[in-house]
Amino acid sequence: METKPVVELKNLSKTIGSKKIIDDLSLSLYPGQITGFLGPNGAGKTTTIRMMVGLMKISGGDVIIDGKSLKDDFEEGLSKVGVIVENPEMYKYMSGYKNLVHFARMHKGVTKERINEIVNQVGLQNRIKEKVSTYSLGMRQRLGLAQALLHRPKFLILDEPTNGLDPAGIREFRNYLRVIAENEGVSVFVSSHMLSEIELMCDRIAIIQNGKLVDIRDVAGADESHYYIEAFPTASAHDLLVAEGFTVEAFKEGFIINAEKTRIPGIIQQMTAQEMQVFTVQSHRKTLEDQFLEMTGGGQIAESHTK
């Protein structure tokens, strides 16, 4: 049985003046899945997210959250959403626990038991009674995650969630997201400029350019249809691969080809028969950065937040 999407963007559009910022964007987001949202500067990522959380009026199309239209049933649809935008703002003079109690009042049915449950889930039980002013950035980020999850949302939107965190904090936050997605069945939507983190964090990526969805794909392991081959003499190896009908792409000291796994032994035999020295033959997967630049034609993403 096919899984029903938690969120559906249906022909979503945004026009400001005579300019179409978002153009007929359709995308489905599923429970237990973490989806990365990428695009060059000015592609429309922020505009899309603002429409998804009701901060910007929709010009055309609709956002359906857990079966509720934001255009027709805004409050009910948005009640299923949790949001973290960069560094969550908290009352620093209050304890982490009092912050959560304050935010819990904004939602129906959030009990003290639920607050304690979510505190344990994000690993803050030992510091939750201390003032937020004493928290590290990583701890404040975990508190923000707890706040966003208090009301058991089915959909969690994160805009630059690891901005400013050190590598250990980023890894910790990534692990919490994976647990939440898998154990709670939450659909997580992450917009970030840190491609290496998106690659580690997400199950799939959606790429937007000029307001249009240009690609959506799974973040998979090594692609066995691509191989990296390094052999000497390099020119002879290149000529052999071309003669065999492969599309050959120069890479490091060798070449990348698209080939069926069953053809690899034959290539090695031919190179050996022609007295070439074969140094490396291995499956190859292009990084998310490589794929992103290919799909956007080299479009620039915003400056990296890594130091």
- How does residue 297 score in pLDDT terms, banded at 50, 70 and 90? low
For the segment 167-178, what is each residue's pLDDT rounded down to a tens digit?
A: 887 888 888 888
Instruction: Report pLDDT for 222.
Output: 43
Instruction: Report pLDDT for 229.
Output: 92
Domain boundaries of the chain, sorted by first residue: 7-218, 226-284
Instruction: Report pLDDT for 90.
Output: 85
CA-only gyration radius of the chain, Å: 24
Which has the minimum average pLDDT: 105-119, 215-229, 266-280?
215-229
Three-state secondary-structure class, residue 93: coil
Instruction: Report pLDDT for 292.
Output: 62
Say yes or no to pLDDT of 305 above 90. no
Instruction: Report pLDDT for 301.
Output: 46
Give the CATH number of domain 7-218. 3.40.50.300
CA pair distance 7, 26, nearest whole angstrom = 10
The answer to whether the beta carbons of residues 10 and 27 sit under 8 Å apart is: no
Instruction: Report pLDDT for 243.
Output: 92
- How does residue 91 score in pLDDT terms, banded at 50, 70 and 90? confident
For the segment 195-243, what is each residue's pLDDT rounded down to a tens digit?
A: 777 878 888 889 888 889 888 877 764 455 788 899 999 999 999 999 9
Strand order of the β-sheet with 7-16 is 19-29, 7-16, 60-65, 68-69
Tell me what the mean pLDDT of segment 19-35 comes to.
92
Q: Residue with structure tokens 């910022």?
A: 21
Task: Tell me the pTM.
Answer: 0.72
- How does residue 134 score in pLDDT terms, banded at 50, 70 and 90? very high
Say yes or no to pLDDT of 123 above 80. yes
Tell me what the mean pLDDT of segment 150-173 comes to.
84
Instruction: Report pLDDT for 306.
Output: 37
CA pair distance 81, 79, nearest whole angstrom = 6
CB under 8 Å to 43, separation ≥6 — which residues? Answer: 208, 209, 210, 211, 299
Say yes or no to pLDDT of 71 above 90. no
The tokens describing 164, both together, are 């400013």
Torsions phi, psi of 78, nearest 5? -70, -20
Q: Please tell me if the domain spanning 7-218 has the same topology as the one spanning 226-284.
A: no
Instruction: Report pLDDT for 26.
Output: 94
Task: Quote the mean pLDDT of the chain.
Answer: 85
CA pair distance 46, 52, nearest whole angstrom = 10
- Of 41 and 152, the one with more pLDDT: 152
CA pair distance 229, 233, nearest whole angstrom = 12
- Selecting from 3.30.70, 3.30.360, 3.40.50, 1.25.40, what CATH number does the domain 226-284 have? 3.30.70
